[in-house]
Amino acid sequence: MYVLIGGGGLIGLSLAHRLVELGHTVAVIDIDPVACRYAREQVGVMAFVGSAVSTEVLLESGIGKADSVVAALRSDALNLAMVTLAKHYGAPHIVTRMRHRDFAEPLRIVGANHIVSTVDLAVSTMVNAIEYPQVESMMHFEQGQIEVLKLAIPENCYVAGRSVAEIALDSRFPTGSLIIGYQAHVHENLIIPNGSTVLEPGSTVLIVTKPGSLHQVIDFIEGCK
The C-alpha atoms of residue 83 and residue 65 are separated, in whole angstroms, by 15
Mean pLDDT of 124-146: 70
Residue 225 pLDDT grade (very low, low, confident, very high; cuts 50, 70, 90): low
For the cut 60, the answer to whether the pLDDT of residue 143 exceeds it is: no
90: left (phi over 0), alpha (psi -120 to 50) or beta: left
Domains, the chain, ranges and CATH?
2-121 (3.40.50.720), 132-222 (3.30.70.1450)
pLDDT value for 155: 84
pLDDT digits (tens, 9 = 90+) for 165-222: 999 999 999 988 999 999 998 888 989 999 999 999 989 999 998 878 888 888 888 8
For the cut 80, the answer to whether the pLDDT of residue 12 exceeds it is: yes
How far apart, in Å, are the Cα atoms of 106 and each of 39, 81, 132, 151? 30, 10, 34, 37
pLDDT digits (tens, 9 = 90+) for 51-106: 999 999 999 999 999 999 999 999 999 999 999 999 999 999 999 999 998 999 99
The C-alpha atoms of residue 70 and residue 11 are separated, in whole angstroms, by 11
Cα atoms found within 13 Å of the Cα of residue 178, Cβ hemisphere only: 8
Rounded to an integer, what is the distance from CA 93 to the centroid of its chain?
16
For the cut 90, the answer to whether the pLDDT of residue 142 exceeds it is: no
